[in-house]
Chain A
């Protein structure tokens, strides 16, 4: 696992618990694999998301797409 120590918070225990809440049970090996993949992704996207302004919201995509067309 990329970060099994838990600094990202994405541990196999977390994954198993989140899935159980949704009515879905996974084997410990599956939870470990999922946690490894998610931890790696969280580490990769974190710096990008840190640039997000407080006001940024999803609808900005559609406005930017239209604006991009008009340029």
Chain B
């Protein structure tokens, strides 16, 4: 058997069920890997080895008796540090909550527990999940395991880095404007942003209650399907959690994709698009066509206004949630997050309400004009090649704002629309090309790195990502297509050399 930490989630779960690996062995493997990559990547905020080990021992004794709690029995994983668990600190990546002990457990964690998963740690994240790059001025920036000078993307920065570095079989993230899909794309893993309401947010730190979604980052679409099967469904603790039936996500992966209509938007997604990403998307479309999909161009409604409206909703709701702390503890926020919250405080109420009113009109128009003609949209996850940590730092000046806006340009409209989207790797930055040479900002990397780390050389070989976007609650279709794509390609199986 391969080194245990390199297995996919699905393979690890089967290994435990077939008694080819124990939960303790899996835990030992990922903790050893986590400890090995932590000094370089800063992916973890905390590793809770003692509690996880006792749970793994219990899981193995249950397995020995033929008892399995669920499909994730004995599989260890770490999660973004914003999912509350009774008696445990969830820092939310912040100074303000870094010592606050939770008094309830998130529904998402309860459901993973019930499926047999074992949590062994918490992962780095943007402060209060309000940042798309992976910077964190309280716990240190997360670093891309493919090249430590580059961002992981955020806000689920540690989730992307840990899964990519094979230090966790999967991880919960959250996605309000792209916070699962950006790190998935930057780090070369698979991330699922679900339909608004598909997964309960109870016990998860809120950022923007109209836009927040809970979802997984993992190595494959199959892994995401297994996790969604455990997570999805109604929840009396979250009034926005949908009671729509939960399909057999895993069972539906094997359905044929021939005949699916895949739309390629004529508008919006070619603006500001990096040439290497465009080329990777073209190649992915050839693969999808080879699978029997009908790949067709399609006109879509204007998403620029949706992007701005989404920005307004997040800004206003985040400012409202943080209003008390902003008035009483402004010094405890990083400059980057405080500046974004200040913008929300200044937004006129009518602008926020109009953004909410526009949402219904827009989703109706989008479904009517787009999803009556195609089953899935195929678009880039990001318009730009991976920026460095230095050039997206708060000290980087005016170029930073434009880069930050570009990072979420292709993801946030789908939060506004509430649509499900699967981000998955579809290429590698061409060898020998400095991403900064083909990036709009044109800023050179500064080479900041953790003390003691050796230079990593030219930053070629950074992953490129794409999105498959479906109609509301059609996670089964985008997972099915993503799985078929990953059966035909090997981008998802490539790992950083770290």
- Chain A residues in the interface with B (C-beta under 8 A): 10, 14-15, 18-19, 22-24, 26, 30, 33-35, 37-38, 41-42, 44-45, 47-49, 51-53, 56-69, 71
Contact = CB atoms under 8 A, between A and B. Distances in A.
Given A44-B305, A47-B305, 4 more contacts: A61-B418, A64-B364, A65-B363, A69-B244
A52 B358 contact: yes
Nearest to B398: A33
A16 to B, nearest CB: 9
B302 interface: yes
Nearest to B313: A58
B473 interface: yes
Contacts of B323: 22
A65 B308 contact: no
A32 to B, nearest CB: 12
B357 A38 contact: no
Contacts of B473: 69
B101 interface: no
Contacts of A35: 346
Contact of B326 (A24, A41, A47, A63): A24
Contact of B353 (A19, A42, A58, A68): A58
Contact of A48 (B305, B326, B342): B305
B342 A34 contact: yes
Nearest to B245: A69
Interface in B278-308: 302, 304-306, 308
Contact of A58 (B306, B346, B357, B371): B357
For the residues of B in contact with A, the DSSP-based class is: helix
A23 B327 contact: yes
B357 A64 contact: no
B367 interface: yes
B21 interface: no
A44 B304 contact: yes
Contacts of B345: 18-19, 22, 24
Contacts of B364: 60, 64, 67-68
Interface residues of B, number: 43
B361 A58 contact: no
A45 B343 contact: no
A44 B367 CA distance: 23
Interface of B: 195-197, 244, 302, 304-306, 308-309, 311-312, 323, 326-327, 330, 339, 342-343, 345-347, 351, 353-361, 363-364, 367, 371-372, 401, 418, 471-474
A59 B360 contact: yes
A64 B360 contact: yes
Contacts of B346: 10, 14-15, 18-19, 34-35, 38
B77 to A, nearest CB: 29
Contacts of A56: 357-358, 360-361
Contacts of A51: 361
Contacts of A60: 357, 359-361, 364
B307 to A, nearest CB: 8
B358 A65 contact: no
B308 to A, nearest CB: 4
A68 B311 contact: no
Contacts of B418: 61, 65
A49 B339 contact: no
A60 B355 CA distance: 12
A28 B150 CA distance: 33
B35 to A, nearest CB: 41
A53 B354 CA distance: 11
Contacts of A18: 345-346
A44 B357 contact: no
Nearest to A15: B346
A42 B355 CA distance: 11
Contacts of A62: 360
A52 B312 contact: no
Contacts of A41: 308, 311-312
A71 B302 contact: no
A23 B326 CA distance: 9
A18 B197 CA distance: 33
Contacts of B372: 71
B330 A24 contact: yes
A61 B356 CA distance: 8
Closest 3 pairs (CB-CB, A-B) = A60-B360, A48-B305, A68-B367
Contacts of A66: 244, 472
A65 B195 contact: yes
A45 B401 CA distance: 18
